Amino acid sequence: MNTIISKFRNASPAAKASMALLFANLVLKGLSLISGPIFTRIMSTEQYGIVSTFQSWQSLLSVVVTLNLASGVFNNGMLDFKEHRDEFQVSLLAISTVSTAIFYFIFFMFSKPLLELFELPTILVHLMFFHYLVIPAYWYWSGRQRYEYKYKALTIITVASAVLSLVIGIVAVLASPDKHAAIVRVLSLEGVSIVIGLFFYIWTIIKGRLKVNFQYCKYALRFNIPLLPHYMSMYVLASSDRIMITKMINTSATAIYSVSYTVASVIAIVWQSIDASLSPWIYERLDSQEEEKVKKLATQIMLIFAILCVVCTLFAPEIMAILAPPSYSSGIYVIPSVAAGVFFTGMYSLYMRVELFYKQTGFATMASILAAVCNILLNYIFIAIVGFVAAGYTTMTCYALLALFHYFNVKRKGYAYVFNNIAFLAISCVVIGLSISVTILYSFSIIRYFFILALLVMLVVKKDMLLQIFNLKKKS
């Protein structure tokens, strides 16, 4: 422990930020995993499925309602307006506020048909829009903290909010009747984030002195609006499976699928934590024409990330046994495909970083729409035939296609040399093959444990490379 603390203190600001945010996000997802076994046991599968459906709709609609300004354009704005970042943030907040108000008015005018579409209690939809109003302020603040490698306040808030929402949620659900458990759980979950968002909403206005710069607004809208179909398509890929399972089967099946999806999403948290510090570093290296450094680090990261995905799938039976009662056991067969899908989101996002840096974003929208449409069609066909397990494999297939589409676009634009594409292809083939075949090992525990041991030994042997991945200063 003393060695770890010493290395942390001597690390570069980028390395400290990456490790601290990784720790915070792992705690966040760890608490989410801890909450899983609790809520699956104190809530019925129907009520748990309503919570999952709410979260799916919330993620899906977030793109349109908030214009997703915290993604894409935000990092570019931090680079292009270095001396006026407070003003840029408050300008983004003004846009998202106006947009939320417009969509809330639309919901008010057409509430009856929309509520039938959402299949959610009215109070949860109103809560969703209040969330959209204030939470972008927190997204902008946290994005800037990551961009500037500031991690202390962000780490504390991330961990504290996770603990509060978990504790309040457990107490509230236990104290409420089962028929209201879903509403109470969502209120406790969103209540904490709304309070935090409201604080940063006021904070952003004060820091920016309410100086809304219409040139910044124009800059943000021109950059992000063409990307909205892309972002929407990405959320369709991530959320449509649960919505379609609810409509084609029932909320109980959605609950089982969601628990499995939660397990695999731990890997996504690892990627998001690395990517939060990696993205500014990639921007800086590309700006200084140091593509070889990007190529080497990206290959190392994708290899380690692939191993993490495979380890997660090998532990699927044990993880599901801990997270949920036996009625959820069929969810283990979802984990391999969803974990592989998360791997391909990491790969596609690397190509996307290059496209965003060079402002070559037109193709991204077309590729994402095509992948989303494929996902909906494949879900419609195979969920009816195979059941909810098919949704994981259709999503994996579409994420793999998306990564392939972005590779072709980067190659067409002349930037393919930034990454080691042959290595990416080889790693991808192994991940796909294992995600399909690993489910056979669930019936042969001894062989499965042998594979787990071999991968863990590999990680120990390569521990120095793992530490190097986080220390971006040595790669500067």
Give 218 or 80, the one with higher predicted confidence.
218
Per-residue model confidence as pLDDT tens digits over 356-377: 777 766 677 788 888 889 999 9
The token pair that represents 325 in the structure block: 């009662």
Average pLDDT of the segment spanning 198-225: 90
The token pair that represents 40 in the structure block: 């699956």
User: Can you tell me the distance from the alpha carbon of 155 to that of 142, in angstroms, rounded to the nearest whole number?
Assistant: 10
User: Can you tell me the distance from the alpha carbon of 452 to that of 436, in angstroms, rounded to the nearest whole number?
Assistant: 17
Smallest CA-to-CA distance from 356 within 149, 91, 78 is with: 78
Kindly report which listed range (111-115, 323-327, 357-361, 369-373) carries the lowest average pLDDT score: 357-361
User: Can you tell me the distance from the alpha carbon of 214 to that of 466, in angstroms, rounded to the nearest whole number?
Assistant: 44
- Alpha-helix residue ranges (DSSP H) falling in 12-121: 13-42, 45-66, 73-80, 85-109, 111-118
pLDDT score of 218 = 93
CA 63 to chain centre: 13
- Does residue 77 contact residue 208 with C-beta atoms inside 8 Å? no
Global pTM? 0.68
The answer on pLDDT for 404 being more than 60 is yes
Amino acid type, 226: P
The answer on pLDDT for 278 being more than 80 is no
User: Can you tell me the distance from the alpha carbon of 160 to that of 156, in angstroms, rounded to the nearest whole number?
Assistant: 6
Buried b (16+ CB within 10 A) or exposed e, 429-438: eebbebbeeb
Neighbours of 180 (CB within 10 A): 14
